[in-house]
Every structure is written in C-alpha cells, then in structure tokens.
C-alpha cells in the first residue's frame, strides 16, 4: 500500500488506534470517544491516557539515526552512509523519501 504523504499514513494509523481504543472495532465515530484525541497523549495527571504520539516518536527515532551518523563508534550502517554520502548534508548516493525526511531534520539536529 502506498500513501501520498507521511501525514496520510499518520492519520490512518491514528484512526485505527482511536477506533480500537474506544470501541475495539476497526471503525468508530467520535461519539464513542471519552476524551478528545488531541489529549490522549497527555499525561494522566492532566487528563490524558499517556499514549505515545507516533509522529513525535518517529521524529525522535529519525533524529537518533542522524545522531548515530555522528557517533564516535559508528555502526555498520553509519559507516556505509559515511562512505556513500556527505554526513553533514546527507547528500550523495542516498535516494528515497526516508532520506528526504532525514535531510529535513538536519537543522533540528544541529540546533
């Protein structure tokens, strides 16, 4: 299955998570929700259920991959990237949407 954008993927995943959480079915309506989905990821102390925000989790994991490229003890993957691309800009023999997403996070990593 191919998604037009990463946002479409996150929307579909969250739709499934929401349906399972509120009705344990594949599809549900907002009428079954006990709290607004925007607050589900909040802490229990603030009224949420403390579920992980998958978009934030994904960005954190992508930043971790970028960090591995700059490690003093690089993994096999990092050594491969270092030999095929410029680590500072992630340009070189690196193609695909996942590399585009990593490139877009380079300013965040540098900050």
Q: Cα 101 to the chain's mean position, in Å?
A: 10
Q: What is the pLDDT of residue 2?
A: 58
β-partners of residue 85 are: 92
Angle made by CA atoms 63, 40, 62, in degrees to the nearest 5: 10
Note the pLDDT tens digit of each residue in 22-33: 766 666 655 566
Specify whether the CB–CB gap between 105 and 60 falls below 8 A.
no
Q: What is the pLDDT of residue 83?
A: 92
Specify whether the CB–CB gap between 26 and 16 falls below 8 A.
yes
The model carries a pTM of 0.73
Share of the chain above pLDDT 90, in %: 35
Note the pLDDT tens digit of each residue in 45-61: 988 888 888 888 989 99
Share of the chain above pLDDT 70, in %: 84
The residue assigned the tokens 């929401």 is: 18
Lowest-confidence pick of 20-24, 55-59, 67-71, 107-111: 20-24
């Amino acid at each position: 299955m191919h998604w037009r954008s990463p946002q479409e993927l996150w929307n579909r995943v969250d739709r499934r998570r929401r349906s399972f959480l509120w009705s344990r079915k594949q599809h549900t309506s907002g009428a079954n929700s006990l709290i607004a989905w925007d607050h589900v990821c909040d802490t229990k102390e603030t009224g949420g259920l403390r579920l992980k925000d998958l978009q934030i989790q994904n960005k954190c994991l992508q930043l971790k991959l970028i960090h591995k490229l700059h490690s003093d003890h690089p993994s096999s993957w990092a050594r491969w990237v270092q030999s095929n691309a410029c680590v500072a800009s992630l340009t070189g023999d690196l193609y695909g949407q996942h590399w585009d997403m990593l490139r877009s996070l380079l300013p965040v990593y540098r900050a």
